[in-house]
């Protein structure tokens, strides 16, 4: 059987997308490596279902560790460890009131990330 295809195997076919930079009016956004590494660390921290549950609760209101542990039926050390990870990535912040330490989401960016992620996962 002979090959009737006269195109070299590495040549693009007629229907393959092909464009040049002159075809576009805008330049792609550039984000430096350090910013990308930090953002990836945030997404890794958000990627744990147990930590995400904490964030969903903190989206509603600031809570202390004992409130979170009670609501999630988890031991205090487990909650504290998860909060430590989230705090190290600047996802949550804490404030002390007497003997209680209250945690809340760090800012509106995190709030929108959590809300949008949960809402997106609920779509069919």
Pick from 6-10, 100-104, 107-111: least confident = 6-10
The CATH class, in words, for 50-122 is mainly alpha
Distance of CA 101 to the CA centre of its chain: 25
| pLDDT score at 26 | 73
Rounded to 5°, angle at Cα 49 from 55 and 120: 75
Query: What is the pLDDT confidence band of residue 52, given thresholds at 50, 70 and 90?
Result: very high
DSSP class of residue 106?
Answer: S
Q: Domain limits of the chain?
A: 50-122
Q: What is the tens place of the pLDDT at every residue in 11-48?
A: 556 677 787 767 777 776 888 999 999 999 999 999 99
121 φ, ψ (degrees, to nearest 5): -70, -20
Q: Minimal CA–CA distance to 106: which of 30, 28, 54?
A: 54
Rounded to 5°, angle at Cα 11 from 10 and 17: 115
Please give the C-alpha separations between residue 46 and each of 26, 51, 73, 110, 115, in angstroms, as whole numbers: 32, 7, 20, 10, 12
Query: What is the pLDDT confidence band of residue 64, given thresholds at 50, 70 and 90?
Result: very high
| pLDDT score at 67 | 95
Measured between alpha carbons, how far is 105 from 60 in angstroms, rounded to an integer?
Answer: 10
């Amino acid at each position: 059987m002979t090959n009737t295809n006269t195109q070299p195997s590495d040549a693009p076919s007629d229907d393959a997308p092909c464009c040049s930079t002159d075809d576009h009016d805008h330049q792609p956004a550039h984000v430096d490596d350090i910013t990308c590494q930090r953002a990836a660390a945030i997404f890794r921290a958000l990627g744990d279902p147990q930590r995400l549950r904490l964030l969903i609760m903190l989206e509603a209101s600031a809570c202390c560790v004992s409130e979170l542990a009670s609501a999630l039926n988890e031991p205090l050390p487990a909650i504290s460890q998860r909060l430590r990870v989230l705090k190290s990535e600047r996802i949550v912040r804490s404030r002390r009131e007497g003997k209680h330490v209250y945690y809340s989401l760090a800012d509106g960016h995190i709030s929108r990330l959590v809300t949008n992620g949960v809402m997106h996962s609920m779509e069919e």
